[in-house]
């Protein structure tokens, strides 16, 4: 290893980069899973109601009409007065003259769907009347994510309307660092739906004495809506926004493991062939096959250990510097490091088997 230092270093660097990429890809998926759950869990609602046939509040097209919303207020399966209208939709707000991405969350103040307080400024002014009709209006005010590049008092344009920023809420980024913009449900209807009295969904708490699963089943049987529990909703979001889009990434991680094994195999194999005469000398003076194999495996193990360790460290550096939220899981890091180490050592074993077949006399004649 000391004699061929450059090759050992290059091998370790190759393993480092591959392990870091494997963990970074996993960290991106972990970050997406965490962000996809943050908002839904923050609402504290355990019943999510969407339009019939939509398949769920977040995975299909859902617009609830008023005739279906009003009976939910007195539904026996739901906790009294817990049903809350909610609009959750992607938007392209204009900030400082530039179009950006965001999620608009329209809800009624004091009910499920958004923050109860702000970190800076104040909450937006809610509708005067507890109704879905266009007659109930509210000022064009919004509460933004604390990480958005806006200050209190500035304006943001959504759907051709200028809305005033009055507060900043705790960050609840959606998938891939998409910020949430909170506003009154009537304002959301105005800027997104052309002032039509519709919402994407209604969220609520199950009635006392009823589990969310029982409440969802009973409510769906006697009404014309799709009802999902909190767990079902989270599973839907994870599948649609994370698992499905990231199938290719999962496949790529497997390919990176294979690449790391092939890399170590090739480099170790070539290095071994360069040392056949030295190996022949060792065997001529009495070195056993086990001794020769141990020498090569020690080299592979040491190189792999250095590469894997540096790869884990590099992945955390990448996570800290990445432009999106990346969450490197410590347990996953240990698993990936262990598997990568075993793959590299297993690959090196095949090169070691080649080494022990060297005939000392052939090596002395320089025929290898």
User: Of 243, 276, 299, which one is at a domain's C-terminal end?
Assistant: 243
Whether 71 and 196 share a structural domain: yes
Boundaries of domain holding 350: 5-33+245-364
Whether 27 and 42 share a structural domain: no
Q: What confidence score (pLDDT) does residue 319 get? A: 93
Whether 99 and 226 share a structural domain: yes
Whether 322 and 202 share a structural domain: no
Residue 129 has pLDDT above 60, yes or no: no
pLDDT in tens, 47-84: 999 988 888 888 888 888 766 777 888 899 999 989 99
Whether 220 and 80 share a structural domain: yes
Whether 220 and 160 share a structural domain: yes
Whether 238 and 349 share a structural domain: no
State the pLDDT confidence band at 288, using cuts at 50, 70 and 90: confident
Q: What confidence score (pLDDT) does residue 195 get? A: 81
SS3 per-residue string spanning the chain: CCCCHHHHHHHHHHHHHHHHHHHHHHHHHHHHHHHHHHHHHHCCCCEEEEECCCCCCCCCCCCECHHHHHHHHHCCCECCCCCEEEEEEEECCEECCEECCEEEEEECCCCCCCCCCCCEECCCCCCCCCCCCCCCCCCCEEEEECCCCCCCCCEEEECCEEEEEEEEECCCCECCCECEEEEEHHHHHHHHCCCCCCECEEEECECCCCCHHHHHHHHHHHCCEEEEEHHHHHHHHHHHHHHCCCHHHHHHHHHHHHHHHHHHHHHHHHHHHHCHHHHHHHHHCCCCHHHHHHHHHHHHHHHHHHHHHHHHHHHHHHHHHCCCCCCCCHHHHHHHHHHHHHHHHHHHHHHHHHHCCCCHHHHHCCCC
Whether 226 and 251 share a structural domain: no
Q: What confidence score (pLDDT) does residue 135 get? A: 58
Query: What's the structural domain count of the chain?
Result: 2
Q: What confidence score (pLDDT) does residue 89 get? A: 93
User: Of 195, 224, 243, which one is at a domain's C-terminal end?
Assistant: 243
Residue 95 has pLDDT above 60, yes or no: yes
Whether 58 and 166 share a structural domain: yes
pLDDT in tens, 327-353: 999 998 998 889 888 888 887 787 778
pTM for the complete prediction?
0.82
Whether 89 and 213 share a structural domain: yes
Q: What confidence score (pLDDT) does residue 102 get? A: 95
Whether 192 and 282 share a structural domain: no
Whether 238 and 254 share a structural domain: no
Q: What confidence score (pLDDT) does residue 40 get? A: 94
Pairwise pLDDT comparison (297 vs 88), residue with the higher score? 88
Pairwise pLDDT comparison (170 vs 224), residue with the higher score? 170
Residue 261 has pLDDT above 90, yes or no: no
Residue 252 has pLDDT above 90, yes or no: no
Q: What confidence score (pLDDT) does residue 136 get? A: 62
């Amino acid at each position: 290893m000391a004699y061929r230092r450059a090759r050992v270093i290059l091998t370790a660097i190759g393993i480092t980069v591959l392990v870091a990429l494997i963990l970074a890809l996993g960290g991106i998926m972990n970050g997406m899973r965490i962000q996809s759950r943050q908002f839904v869990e923050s609402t504290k609602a355990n019943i999510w109601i969407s339009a019939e046939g939509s398949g769920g509040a977040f995975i299909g097209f859902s617009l609830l009409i008023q005739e279906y919303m009003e009976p939910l207020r007195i539904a026996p399966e739901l906790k009294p007065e817990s049903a809350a209208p909610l609009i959750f939709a992607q938007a392209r707000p204009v900030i400082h003259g530039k179009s950006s991405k965001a999620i608009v969350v329209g809800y009624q103040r004091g009910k499920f769907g958004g923050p109860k307080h702000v970190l800076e400024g104040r909450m937006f002014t809610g509708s005067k009347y507890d109704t879905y009709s266009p007659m109930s209006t509210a000022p064009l005010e919004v509460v933004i994510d604390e990480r958005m590049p806006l200050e209190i008092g500035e304006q943001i344009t959504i759907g051709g309307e200028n809305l005033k920023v009055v507060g900043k809420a705790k960050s609840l980024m959606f998938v891939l660092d998409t910020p949430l913009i909170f506003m009154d449900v009537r304002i959301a209807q105005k800027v997104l739906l052309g002032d039509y009295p519709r919402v994407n969904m209604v969220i609520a708490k199950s009635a006392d004495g009823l589990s969310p699963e029982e409440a969802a089943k009973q409510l769906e049987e006697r009404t014309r809506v799709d009802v999902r529990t909190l767990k079902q909703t989270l599973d839907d979001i994870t599948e649609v926004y994370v698992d499905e889009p990231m199938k290719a990434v999962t496949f790529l991680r497997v390919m990176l493991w294979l690449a790391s094994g092939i890399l170590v195999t090739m480099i170790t194999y070539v290095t071994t062939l360069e040392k056949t005469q030295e190996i022949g000398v060792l065997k001529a003076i009495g070195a056993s096959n086990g001794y020769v194999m141990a020498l090569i495996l020690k080299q592979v193990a040491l190189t792999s250990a250095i590469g894997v360790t540096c790869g884990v460290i590099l992945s955390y550096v990448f996570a800290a510097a990445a432009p999106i939220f990346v969450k490197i899981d410590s347990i996953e890091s240990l698993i990936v490091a262990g598997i990568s180490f075993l793959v590299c050592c297993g690959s090196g074993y095949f090169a070691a088997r080649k080494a022990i077949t060297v005939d000392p006399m052939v090596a002395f004649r320089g025929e290898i």
